Amino acid sequence: MNDNNHITLMDNYVIVIYDGICGFCNASLQFILKQGPSKKLRFVAFQSEVGHQVRSAMQIEEDMDSIIVVENGAYYKKSKAIFHILDHIKSNWKYLKIFRFIPTFISDFFYSIIAKYRYKIQKNECPIPTPEERELFI
């Protein structure tokens, strides 16, 4: 992928960068897919080549322990990333975004607790995405 593809990708989509080896992250991704994500969302694993390229283009540190959302030329991490994802799902879970009023240091505190133990949560199955879901992956 060249730099022009990065620009097109980041200008046209909301990119969700997730940890592809984390069971909890993959379960969370499956949950998002079941909530009717908008066609504007695109998912890419941290560990993938595209994930590395997007993080490099956005100057996102390599050791970040968070889901990342790239939208409108900016990136968001931890709880802010979750709130941006909620903007792009169709189910009633989207209404959790009313909690944006909670100060970030508080919502990120709870996010960090979950992130600390995320590798202990194992998921032994790897569901095959539907053709519609496959379109959402980069």
pLDDT value for 2:
52
Q: Is the pLDDT of residue 109 over 90?
A: yes
The boundaries of the domain holding residue 25 are: 3-133
Q: Is the pLDDT of residue 123 over 60?
A: no
Whether residue 138 lies inside any domain: the answer is no
Quote the number of domains for the chain. Answer: 1
Residue 5 has pLDDT above 60, yes or no: no
Task: Please state, rounded to an integer, the average pLDDT across all residues of the chain.
Answer: 83
CATH code of 21's domain: 3.40.30
10-36 tens-digit pLDDT: 678 999 999 888 777 888 888 898 898
- pLDDT the model gives residue 126: 59
Q: What percent of the chain has pLDDT over 70?
A: 83
Is 68 a residue whose pLDDT tops 90?
Answer: yes
DSSP track, 75-130: EEEHHHHHHHHHTTB-SGGGGGGGGGGS-HHHHHHHHHHHHHTGGGS-----PPPP
pLDDT score of 87 more than 70: yes
